[in-house]
Amino acid sequence: MTGGQTFTQLTTYLWVTQSDLYQTNSGIFLSDDAATLIDPGIAPAASQAIAQFVHKQGAKVTTIILTHGHWDHILGPEQFPGVQVVAHASYREVIRDHREDLQRQVAGWEMECGRQRATPFEPPHPDLVFEERLALPAGALTLQLRHAPGHAPDQIVIYHAPDGALWAGDMLSELEIPFISHNLAAYEETLSQLAQLEIRTLVPGHGTPAQEPAEIDARLREDRAYLAELRALVAAAIQAGASLNETVTTCAKMNYRHPEANTLPHRWNVESVYAELGGECTSPSGWEQE
């Protein structure tokens, strides 16, 4: 425990700690006194606890990796001034095009927490970006960063091959269904690529890490099956001339995990996929209205 926060060691090099909000995970790869952080904290206290933890290990923070430009993943870097930030190349467009949304979302959450800043939140700018893949030195380790769009256009995953450790961004959670807030086809392709990796430790952006082979397989299988069923039902509905509302009704009968918590994301998925597959939408629907 550091400042009330728990740090769990998952592999020889990878530690994870969780924020209360959305059970958001932050990662720490420690090697040769160098700490490489992943989405390090939402609240300042969480980021500071990570800094303290790294210090206690006798290490120094050298790099911060941001998995994608959603507001709950990008608050950490301001607590680590001067540390290089790595992100996907399209993260730059995401923070440029959504700067005001991000500021509104951060301000909304901070108001709930009773915090107020002197000036609005500025999304962190990356020092190093890449398109498809990047081999990133992390102490004595090499981390593979891979573009993994579908949930977000700029989402990346981090893979440490020798340990089979995959940091999966906002995918493969036991709490959430896939949130298709970017593109279904990209999400399907991303999961099909990840299914080819040897994964022995799986860390989702939100929820509980998995280390049992059966659990890792199940998460991949269930999320791919969900996307396949959604595609099939929506495509058939469009083919039959169904309206958006009729399609939502049809797809409400699908089975998916934690239906009470995921009703709204599922509905938004249906609406977004309806538009993606060529259905007629008159007003912004699905994840566009978030």
| Residues that bind Zn ion in the complex, under the rule CB under 5 A | 70, 170
Give me the least distance between CB of 272 and Zn ion, in Å please.
Answer: 14
Between the CA of residue 128 and those of 124, 142, 160, what are the distances in Å? 12, 16, 19
Give me the least distance between CB of 27 and Zn ion, in Å please.
Answer: 15
Q: Based on CB atoms, which residue is closest to Zn ion, 70 or 88?
A: 70
Q: Based on CB atoms, which residue is closest to Zn ion, 138 or 168?
A: 168
Give me the least distance between CB of 170 and Zn ion, in Å please.
Answer: 4
Q: Based on CB atoms, which residue is closest to Zn ion, 170 or 188?
A: 170
Q: What are phi and psi of 141, to 5 degrees?
A: -90, 165
Q: Specify whether the CB–CB gap between 274 and 281 falls below 8 A.
A: yes
Q: Which residue number is nearest to Zn ion in terms of Cβ?
A: 70
Q: Specify whether the CB–CB gap between 234 and 277 falls below 8 A.
A: yes
Q: Based on CB atoms, which residue is closest to Zn ion, 39 or 271?
A: 39
Q: Which residues contact 87 (CB under 8 A, 6 or more apart)?
A: 65, 66, 68, 69, 126, 128, 129, 154, 156
Q: Based on CB atoms, which residue is closest to Zn ion, 171 or 199?
A: 171
Transcribe 116-165 into DSSP letters: --SS---PPPPSEEESSEEEEEETTEEEEEEE--SSSTT-EEEEEGGGTE
C-alpha–C-alpha distance, residues 281 and 116, integer Å: 38
Coil/strand/helix, residue 91 = helix
Q: Based on CB atoms, which residue is closest to Zn ion, 70 or 146?
A: 70
Give me the least distance between CB of 146 and Zn ion, in Å please.
Answer: 17
Give me the least distance between CB of 59 and Zn ion, in Å please.
Answer: 28
Give me the least distance between CB of 72 and Zn ion, in Å please.
Answer: 7
